[in-house]
């Protein structure tokens, strides 16, 4: 069964938004945000610099970055920002160069306005100024396949059991289920909470039963 057909009801006809940010090594944020209800897709890559065609080994002046597509009817951009700022140290004195910089790239005026509001809120909570590099989104270069859903890829036995859903490893990239599994193995979700969420997904019954049964019986 095609995973994208199974998950179609999660995004078809919905007005999704995209958020782009850097908060240190991109593996952890990919798993953290991939675990959140309302997040449809996650991907990691490079943004914020001018070096053409950045790669992991030759990143130049870019930053390790996460992009998420999310449903604002479930998860508001303001709440994305709160997760972002509460889960890393957003000041530059701990960073060497730009690879692990606290970075936020806004895609429209509404995102800029939300960022300013939530930034002030977080500065009050933290009791110090936030130095996140905030600017207009310009471009994002997808990272190499080995970095996508990194923690899930560390469980080859689980990947074998997922093979029928993901016959090509690149299919992990845009899958909501894969994003949740990546968050689960990193410890951001419990088994029961993830099963409860999947049970409420607006997808076809056969596909829902397949995902729940697969996850319930998965050997890691």
Q: What is the pLDDT of residue 93?
A: 61
**What are the structural domain ranges in the chain?**
1-220
Listed residue (72, 62, 65) closest to 111, CA to CA: 72
Q: What is the pLDDT of residue 84?
A: 98
Could you say which of 25, 74, 130, 134 is catalytic?
25
- pTM for the whole thing? 0.95
Q: Verify whether residue 25 is a known catalytic residue.
A: yes
Where b means 16+ CB within 10 Å and e means fewer, 51-67 reads eeebeeeebeebbbbbb
Per-residue pLDDT of the chain (220 residues; tens, 9 = 90+): 789 899 999 999 999 999 999 999 999 999 999 999 999 999 999 999 999 999 999 999 999 999 999 999 999 999 999 999 999 999 876 566 899 999 999 999 999 999 999 999 999 999 999 999 999 999 999 999 999 999 999 999 999 999 999 998 788 999 999 999 999 999 999 999 999 999 999 999 999 999 999 999 999 9
- Residue 59's φ and ψ, nearest 5 degrees, are -85, -20
Listed residue (33, 129, 137, 27) closest to 79, CA to CA: 33
Q: Which two tokens stand for residue 5?
A: 């057909």
Q: What is the pLDDT of residue 168?
A: 84
Instruction: Name the fold adopted by 1-220.
Output: 3.30.1060
Beta strand pairing call for 17-23 and 39-47: unpaired
Helices (H), 48-171: 77-86, 109-126, 150-153, 156-161
Q: How far apart, in whole angstroms, are the C-alpha atoms of residue 109 and residue 125?
A: 25
């Amino acid at each position: 069964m095609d995973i994208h057909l199974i998950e179609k009801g999660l995004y078809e006809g919905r007005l999704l938004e995209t958020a782009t940010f850097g908060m240190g090594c991109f593996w952890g944020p990919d798993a953290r945000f991939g675990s959140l209800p309302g997040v449809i897709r996650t991907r990691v890559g490079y943004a914020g610099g001018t070096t053409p065609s950045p790669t992991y080994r030759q990143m130049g002046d870019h930053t390790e970055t996460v992009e998420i597509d999310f449903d604002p009817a479930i998860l508001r951009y303001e709440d994305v920002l709160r997760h972002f700022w509460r889960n890393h140290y957003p000041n530059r004195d701990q960073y060497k160069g730009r690879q692990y910089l606290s970075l936020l790239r806004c895609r429209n005026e509404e995102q800029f306005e939300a960022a300013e509001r939530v930034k002030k809120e977080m500065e009050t909570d933290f009791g110090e100024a936030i130095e996140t590099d905030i600017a207009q989104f310009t471009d994002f270069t997808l990272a190499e396949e080995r970095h996508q859903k990194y923690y899930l890829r560390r469980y080859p036995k689980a990947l074998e059991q997922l093979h029928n859903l993901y016959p090509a490893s690149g299919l992990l990239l845009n899958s909501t289920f894969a994003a949740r599994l990546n968050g689960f193995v990193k410890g951001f979700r419990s088994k029961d909470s993830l099963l409860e969420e999947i049970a409420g997904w607006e997808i076809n019954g056969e596909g829902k039963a397949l995902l729940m049964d697969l996850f319930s019986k998965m050997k890691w």
